[in-house]
Structure 1
Amino acid sequence: MSEAASAPAGQAAIGDSEFDRDTALVRRAPGVYDIDLSAGWAIGNAVNGGYLLAVLGRALADALPHPDPFTITAHYLTASRPGPAVVRTDVVRTGRTLSTGQACLVQYDEDGSEVERIRVLASYGDLDALPDDVRTSAKPPAIPPLEQCVGPEDGPASVSSGSSITDRLMLKLDPATAGWAVGRPSGKGEMRAWFGLADGRDADPLSLLLAVDALPPTAFELGLSGWVPTVELTVHVRCRPAPGPLRVSITTRNLAGGFLEEDAEVWDGADRLVAQSRQLARVRLG
């Protein structure tokens, strides 16, 4: 639903990347879209929550008069599986600078009954129309140079086992937050990494929705293992990212009652805070 942007030779352009193809929807009727959720963005048998958020984000960008997500909140109701799905959108309000909409994604059980997987409420605007004024105390995360960081290919085979999504990402972890991969978690609840798409496509507001949920869970650095399903995820997109890899920092301060929060910041190569998020996730204890 958008034209491809130019890109250097050998690098996928925005609009002509695997990410764009796998989040593309077919409009069946006003506000109703069909999509085949790709198994390439799965972790085990479940589709990654950031990829799902990008799918719904793309549907809302088509349904609303403004192009860019400013804030988007998703509640994950049941685990999404690769395969056919339907996205339904509703326009809640439209204004001069912001428009608000909601969307849901549904799939069908073996008996044909409809199951809602995720529900979203979002406000959209135009990032290019925002003023340049920035007043912040936030600082980019201290991450070693990309060549000094480690990816799934550098660790044990079990690190990426059963996770198709790792083949579609350029993910290089800060070694200080990768101890979990060799059985030595730091216990600090931190995860930092360089992030990009494997085909070289530059980041845009929709791919930022993926970036905040693409790193290994902070629970791994707390000494826990297994699936950490998202219950709720809110993302704030602050500006359009500059070309090049992103730096993502995620922290958890409180794990209680089998749930933890993850606060993420995404920084671009111009040292701008381009996205923030908070999610509540469930963890397996014991």
Structure 2
Amino acid sequence: MSEYDDATRLETGDDPTQRHGTFSEDWMIGNAVNGGLVMTTALRALGEHLAADPGETTEHVDPVVLSAYFMTASQPGPFTVTTEVMRCGRTLSTGQMTIHQAGDDGRPVERMRAIGSFGNLTDLEVQRQAAPAEMPPPDQCLSADQAPPGFLSNAKFLDRLDLRLDPDTAGWALGKPSMRGVMRGWLRLRDGREPDTTLLMLALDALPPVAFDLGLFGWTPTLEFTGHVRRRPEPGWLQVTLGSDTLGGGMMEEDAMIWDSAGNLVAQSRQLCGVRTPR
């Protein structure tokens, strides 16, 4: 079993709207579990809920859109996902997901609340899509393994990935950010597990923050994230591009786009991030 599948594995109990799992410290970035993993875990719970309910549309197997709000940072340890099916139509089935963990006092603490829709992305006709950016092939890009040791020690999550950054957007790692607010790279799971539509949500939040290319090396927590999955990815590398044009008031936006190995645009997102400068 892939590390990713094991990390997002869920168990059911007496309540069919609740599923339980455990976040591993192996998926941490800084002082929190990676937000992409939190989102994909919630989506897996909603997908399982839809598949298990005989009254729902079982053909809706692909996440199509997710809008998530992060309340507090998820920590290694047990968690509970609660799902609610809100509406099932011909094209989409929509539901709500919440993730809780026990706080220091034993009371439940909400980590994330999201609304997502599932559909079917089989053989979709595409009339128009953005073209991938020109960048070197993976073997000519910089592996995350080459990042400064101090950075890697606080990013166990990167050990799960094979991440190759475009050298043109990796100057920040040498203390020379371009100040353009652009980050590009190739991405796949290190254990060889091929991407699917749920994994794309993790990939949209997997690269180092684009804030690094603006010379901002503090914590940039995600406040709100909206992701769209456009089609099922082909096997192989994912090509990811991040960009940001707006920074101010202690917040910035981060836009992401992903193309698969065949050059298909498979996912895109926008997230609102907080900007926390080091003290």
Superposed pair shares fold, TM > 0.5: yes
Question: Is 1:224 matched with 2:216?
Answer: yes
Aligned: 1:242 with 2:234? yes
Deviations 1:64-85 (A, max 9, x none): 2421110011000001101000
Structure 1, gaps ≥5 residues long? 1-15
My pick for the range that moved more, 153-162 or 236-245, is 153-162
User: CA, structure 1 residues 25+137, in 2 after alignment: closer, same or farther (shift >3 Å)?
Assistant: closer
SS state at 1:232 partner: strand
Partner residue in 2 for 1:215: 207
Cα deviation for residue 94 of structure 1 reads 0.8
User: Pairwise mapping of residues 60-139 of structure 1 onto structure 2 (< 5 A)?
Assistant: 60-64=46-50, 65=58, 66-128=60-122, 130-131=123-124, 133-139=125-131
Deviation at 1:44, TM superposition (A): 2.4
Aligned residues: 269
Alpha-carbon shift at residue 142 of structure 1 (Å): 1.4
Structure 1 CA distance for aligned equivalents of residues 12 and 28 of structure 2: 24
The amino acid of 1:93's aligned partner reads R
In the TM superposition, residue 45 of structure 1 has moved relative to its aligned partner by 2.5
Shift of 1:156: 2.2
Gaps of 5+ in 2: 51-57
List per-residue Cα deviations over 1:195-230 (Å, max 9, x = no partner): 000001110011101000000001000001121100
Secondary structure of the 1:58 match is helix
Instruction: Kindly indicate whether the alpha-carbon contact (under 8 Å) linking 1:152 and 1:159 is maintained by their aligned counterparts in 2.
Output: no
Q: Secondary structure at the match of 1:127?
A: coil
Distance 1:154 1:162 in 2: 14
SS of the residue 1:180 aligns to: helix
In structure 2, the partner of 1:283 is: 275
Matched, 1:39 2:25: yes
- Normalised to the residue count of structure 1, the TM-score between the two structures is 0.92
Question: What is the TM-score with the length of structure 2 in the denominator?
Answer: 0.94
2:12 corresponds to 1:27: yes
SS at match of 1:79: coil
Moved over 6 A (4+): none
Change (3 A) 1:211 1:137: closer
Q: Over the residues paired in the alignment, what is the CA RMSD in angstroms?
A: 1.1
Percent identity, please: 49
User: What is the alpha-carbon distance in structure 2 between the residues aligned to residue 56 and residue 155 of structure 1?
Assistant: 30
2:253 alignment partner in structure 1: 261
Whole-angstrom CA distance in 1 between matches of 2:213 and 2:150? 16
